[in-house]
Amino acid sequence: MKKVIVLFVLSISFSVFSQKKDKVLVTIDGEATKVSEFKRVYEKNLDAIDDDEAKDVTKNLELYINYRLKVKEAYKNKLDTLPSYKREMETYKNQLSAPYLQDTTFIDKLVKDAYFRTKNEVKAKHILIRTPRDASPKDTLEAYTKISKIRDRIVNGEDFEKVAIETSEDQSAKGNPASGVKGNGGNLGYFSAFSMVYPFEDAAYTTKVDEVSKPFKTRFGYHIVKVDEFRPSKGEVEAAHILIRDTTNVGKKVIDSVYQKILANEKFEDLAKEYSEDPGSKATGGKLGKFAANRMVKPFSDAAFALENEGDVSKPFKTRFGWHIVKLIKKHPIQSYEEMKDALKTKVKKSSRMQLSDQAVINRLKSEYSIAEFEEAKKILNNPKLRSIAKDSLQKTMFSVNKTKILQEDFIKYIRNRRHKPVFVLYEDFKNQEILNYYKENLVHTEPEYAYTLKEYQDGLLLFELMQQKIWEKSTKDSIGLKNYFSKNVDKYENKDLKEIKGRVINDYQNDLEKKWIADLRKRSVITVNKKQLKKLIKQYKK
């Protein structure tokens, strides 16, 4: 019911903006409504109305006046101070402002980049120097210095893989010689968009073949990447397999016997259910679903992607997991940009790269706003007992956004339960948040459509609460009033029993209560309609 009322309100609300040249159409207790404000409301749903009577300008103005009287009464009763109203408005403001906090041009670029990186794979190797999760400036500098020196060694001619085995803090590069596990020398094979954390992906795709990137940071630490090759993506395949885990000749004999059965036209799916030792796919006839080349170990990927036609089956081959036979179910080549655009945009918005869009908005606002920081007040950042400083001692301004002051106290509230980052990082996060908050709070002054919609929703919620109190609750809980209304109008209901038609009677009772309430509101208000302007409107819409 609440949603219905709010939607109804959207069609009869008023504009908070008007041009100075507009004439006043109606005044309610000194509050003027301009012609353009009413026209915006009236025209909003005009095309959806088929009934000529419902399009009548005079009747719509009367409805508008009734609506304004109700909303005025809601504010008079201070319904806008209710905690439930404030909570719902805050939630709605966040939803409504979300599109304004996105840099659409930047997002479009991210989507195009993601498509290129889906269509083309990169083969690279890397070296990692880890940093603690809550890295201090000292930790960060030490890791950066270390990775820079490693890069210098490679640029000066040392072999990347040799240096990776020696220095990388990614264990897979070194392997585990004690247990016979050989290191990969930092080799990552081929990968595409969304396979790696975004800063890593970006570094790999923006470094030229055979070159080594400058040091860059991810949440794991500092890296350098060397790019070996670019190639068009092979897309994805759907496949099924049969696995025999024994990697010795015993396993080889079993897989060969299974292969002979396939050549003898026995069903692959039945053989997988009988012989495969992969518990994850055995029950489904060996089906593995859809996967890209980089999702499987190289021998498996090579065998699956080498199959040409749907239904083709590979010869037996070996990986570190055992002996396999693969059957191609379907090939899924990369689609066109237009076909993938929407899915990629959804992926981009859900990925960490959206932080770049957020940052782009913040950077733009920083360049547009006047932001001043006060070093004396910021000295509290060096206090190890920052969170326990008395409130009275936290009244200095840390920074201001267009003269709006942000106090030390505000910052302490922000970090009270945030201990996962160093204080100086939390300060930057807090500053960015306050810049965005300032932007959101001022959207009503900079974005007319946002202000229209927000005002409509505000008034709609108030009207819902007021109707709940004045009409709906009263009609359902006031059993005596309902009975009295029924008794006075029993002829209208053909002398039926109240219990039989209670729903219909309640609806009529609500309409009666509202009609009397509106009459009382009108009696207590001074309403002046500019008849000259009303005639002009009627004439205009008759055309």
- 3-state SS of 323-384? EEEEEEEEEECCCCHHHHHHHHHHHHHHCCCHHHHHHHHHHHHHHHCCEEECHHHHHHHHCC
Amino acid 48: pLDDT? 67
Which residues on neighbouring strands pair with residue 222, listed in sequence order?
Answer: 129, 217
pTM for this model (two decimals) = 0.60
Per-residue pLDDT of the chain (543 residues; tens, 9 = 90+): 444 444 344 444 433 443 447 899 999 999 998 998 898 888 886 766 767 778 889 999 999 999 999 999 999 999 999 999 999 999 998 889 888 888 888 889 999 999 999 999 999 999 999 998 777 778 889 999 999 999 999 999 999 999 999 999 999 998 877 776 788 999 998 999 998 999 999 999 999 999 999 999 999 999 999 999 999 998 999 999 999 999 999 999 999 999 999 999 999 999 999 999 999 999 999 999 999 888 898 899 999 999 999 999 999 999 999 999 999 999 999 999 999 999 999 999 888 888 888 888 899 999 999 999 999 999 999 998 999 999 999 999 999 999 999 999 999 999 988 887 888 889 999 999 999 999 999 999 988 889 989 998 999 999 999 998 888 887 778 888 888 888 888 888 877 888 889 889 889 889 989 999 999 999 999 999 999 999 999 898 887
d(CA 70, CA 73): 5
pLDDT of residue 101: 82
For residue 140, give the nearest of 218, 196, 207, 212 by alpha carbon: 218
d(CA 436, CA 397): 18
Q: How many CB atoms lie within 10 A of CB 198?
A: 19
- The DSSP output letter for 420 is S
